[in-house]
Every structure is written in structure tokens, then in C-alpha cells.
Amino acid sequence: MKAKRYITALGAFFVLALGISACGSGVPGNAVVTMAGNPVSVQAFNHWMFVAAKSQASQNPGQPVIVPNDPPDFNHCVANVKRQIPSLAKTAFKTLQSDCKNLFTSLSGQVMDYLITSYWYQAEAAREHITVTDAQVLKAFNTAKKQQFSTNAQYQSFLTQSGMTQADILYRFRVNQVFTKLLSKQNTKVTAAAIQRYYNSHLSTFGTPETRDLRFILTKTLAAATAAKAALSHGGDWKTVAKKYSTDAQTKNNGGLLPGVVKGQQDQALDSAAFSAPQGVLEGPVKGQFGYYVVEVVKIHPATQQTLAQATPQIRTTLAQQLQSSAQTALLNLVKKHWLSKTTCRSGYSMADCNGYKAPATSTSPTGTTTTG
């Protein structure tokens, strides 16, 4: 719980109005990234950072605190953590500063990833002559709004709490529809042949093996096992005989009963005897790894197996999920192939989706905090 409060406290601070240094690498001075010559402005980045911070701090009572220009020192963030979590009041400033910086980097990475990939999908749709009209976006938005909000007041409250404007939400609907149309061009059809192949290679998944309920007596010597079998053969009851002769602690006091045994679970000698014997026939003595067995099969529960027809709905769902995941990965790889080389980020905002990105070296501090160099 403390860690959760800690992260929430940090998250409340990344509502930023950052200053940007002079341009470089072809990125305009008022932008954080350009994609095929199309810039994302500092203003847009800061706005979506505000939305991300709102989401990060959604479980914290009250509104997020707007702290302009807290990086690179993160003084306000550190002060707030110490105030909200007294147990961390004596923690070294540099430790909390490093954690504040890491969380900021995490949030800014999420925002940059969203802004960049959103552009990529729209650019790819344009390249493939896929269109999404304003009317389509508005229709999807209105349908979702009616489903999720009973009144307009609820919707307005959601906008306030999320930090988003209606324009933001319409933008997200547009990107989602573009993504869906692009994804529909990938192979996501589950064929009958694929279902058959999956069924054939996962037969055990769609059935249960035969199980047997056993009674057995385990003894250290052949003489004791022979005596136990003789007692049972002459009308002795399992509870009395097992208690007298058996050395198996698990079953000797319950008449030697061992229910629900699956082939291959027991000592090989007991397993072979139990699964070759008919029901109700006393077998043994059989020499095994731990001594001598006398065994009787009490009941046989036959194996079950679903038919292909019975298993098809479950298989179809599984394969559809796998194909959907593969299609999403393939689509992302496709848009990266076409647009990553045209995406340039400003220094300080660089990430894996930026042309020429190099991951910073990482190290672990004495407190276990991962830092970047």
C-alpha cells in the first residue's frame, strides 16, 4: 500500500509546462518530434502529459498539483512525497529525486509513444487510401457516450477528472477507427483447418484421463504382504487389515483407499498392477521401490474426450485471440517500417520510436533504484 501511495504521490506532479531548448536535428523549436515533416508541438505534449498525470494520480484524493518546470531538480515532487508519506521524510533527497525523474521519464515515454504511433497509423491509412470521416467518428463517439453516461453532467465531470477535452476524445476515437480499419487488412480469420490442427495437437486439453480409485497395502517384507492378502481373501475388512499391516502413512488408517489415481503418478510397480487389474480383483504381492504391494481396484472412471465439434467454440476463441495479437504486432512492425526513419525526436524526448534512438546505459543504485546515464 505504501508503494502504491508513493507512486500516486509522484504521479500527481507531472502536470508540466516545460521549457524547450533551441531546435536541433531538424525539429522546430516549438516541437518535441517531427514525423515526415509534421511536428508535435510542445503545447500538445504538455497537454497530454497533463492527461497522463491525471490518470496516474486518479486514486489520490483531490486534484493533481500543477508544478511548472519541476524538472530537472524535481524539488516540488520530492517535497510532496515527504509530506504525503511521513515514513519517507528522512529518505535522501537524491534517492527521491531519482525516483521522481524515473516516473517523469516513464510518463513522458508513454505520451511520446501515443503521439508518435497515433500519427503513424493515420499516415499509414493515408498511404493505403483508407479514410475515416468526421461523421463516422462522431457516430461512434455518440454511441459510446450514451452507453457510458446517463446525463451530460456525468460526461462533463468525466472531462474534468480526466483532463481531456471533447476534441481529445474525438481524436482518440478517430485513431481507434483508423487502427481498426488497418487491422482488418491483416489475417485474423480462423479457418476450419486451423481449428482441426489445434484440436489434434491439444487433445489432452479437451478431455480427462482415466482415473482409478484404489485400495492397497504396502509392507516391508514379502511375508507381511502375503499375510495381508490372505487376511483379505478370507473375509478380513480393508480398514482392519491395512491398519495392521500397511506401512503407508497416508492410507493405512483409511482402509488403504487412494482415490482418483492417474496412470504414471505412483511407484511403477503399483502403477502397473493397478492399471492392468480389473475392478474388484485382489492383486499381489507386487515388489516395488518401497516394498511389497497388495492392491485392489475399487472403481474405474473412464477417460473423457470432447469431440471436435464440442471443442470448436473454445478453440475458435483461443485462435482468434492469438491471430488478433499477431495482427497487431504485424501492423505495428509495418508502420514502423514505413515511418520510423521519418520520425525525429528532440534531445531529451528521444525514445525507441525515434529515428537513431540509442538506449541509455542503466545502472542500479545501492537502494535498488534503476538509473540512467
pLDDT higher than 80, residue 19: no
Task: Give the per-residue pLDDT at 58.
Answer: 66
Task: Compute the distance between CA of residue 280 and CA of residue 299 in angstroms, rounded to an integer.
Answer: 8
Structural domains of the chain, ranges and CATH numbers in brackets: 1-127+342-373 (no CATH), 210-302 (3.10.50.40)
C-alpha to C-alpha distances, 159 to 14, 105, 180, 247, 311, nearest whole angstrom: 18, 25, 25, 71, 45
Per-residue confidence band for 66, with pLDDT thresholds at 50, 70 and 90:
very low
- Whether 312 has a pLDDT exceeding 60, the answer reads yes
107 vs 52: CA distance, rounded Å: 7
Q: Give the HSE-up count for residue 126: Cα atoms under 13 Å, Cβ half-sphere.
A: 10
364 or 357: which leads in pLDDT: 357
More confident residue, 106 or 353: 353
Tell whether the model's pLDDT for residue 1 goes beyond 70: no
pLDDT digits (tens, 9 = 90+) for 75-97: 877 887 787 778 888 888 888 88
pLDDT tens-place string over residues 239-298? 999 999 999 999 999 999 999 999 999 999 999 999 999 999 999 999 999 999 999 999
Q: Mean of the pLDDT values across residues 311-334?
A: 96
**Higher pLDDT, residue 215 or 61:** 215
Cα–Cα dist 354/317, whole Å: 36
Q: Residue 43: pLDDT band by 50, 70, 90 thresholds?
A: confident
Confidence of residue 209 (pLDDT cuts 50, 70, 90): very high
Residue percentage of the chain with pLDDT more than 70: 85
Helix ranges (H only) for 41-92 are: 42-56, 75-84
Confirm if 252 and 243 have CB atoms less than 8 A apart: yes
- Which amino acid is located at 229 in the chain? K
